[in-house]
Amino acid sequence: MGAVQSKPETRRSDAHVIEDDLEPGFPKLAGRMGLFPELAIFRRFSALNMTNLLFMQDELLELEKTLRDLEASNSSQEGEFAVDLAKFRRSEAETDDEDSHFNIFKQIQSKLKEYSGFAGA
């Protein structure tokens, strides 16, 4: 029977390549972490992530308020948008206004996607 090469031997031969080919510092550290990922330790920045979520939440609240204000101030057109999504999408071509109903909604979609990714929703 042929000898089967074990992972530790493969790692040792790869480690030799790292010693010879990678520059000292982050390149060499990253190479070693790649060989032994179970030993890699990374900071999670939990407090910064929570702060970021709070800021995104505040931005979403502001966008939501703007959207509701638009709905209240232009109830006849906004009422049509509520039941005719095709008309709502066509309204994008009719205006370049950053504060239009459609553009505010697109900002909300983008921010919600980012927020949900961080919040794990």
34 plus 51 within the same structural domain: no
Q: Is the model's pLDDT at 97 over the cut of 70?
A: no
> Mean per-residue pLDDT for 78-104?
68
pLDDT tens-digit readout, 32-88:
888 889 989 999 999 999 999 999 999 999 999 998 888 777 665 555 666 666 666
16 plus 34 within the same structural domain: yes
Rounded to whole angstroms, the Cα distance separating 87 from 107 reads 19
- The total domain count for the chain is 2
pLDDT, residue 45, reads 94
pLDDT, residue 59, reads 97
> Mean per-residue pLDDT for 94-106?
76
- Range of the structural domain that residue 97 is part of: 46-119
53 plus 23 within the same structural domain: no
- Residues 6+ positions from 39 with CB-CB distance below 8 Å: 33
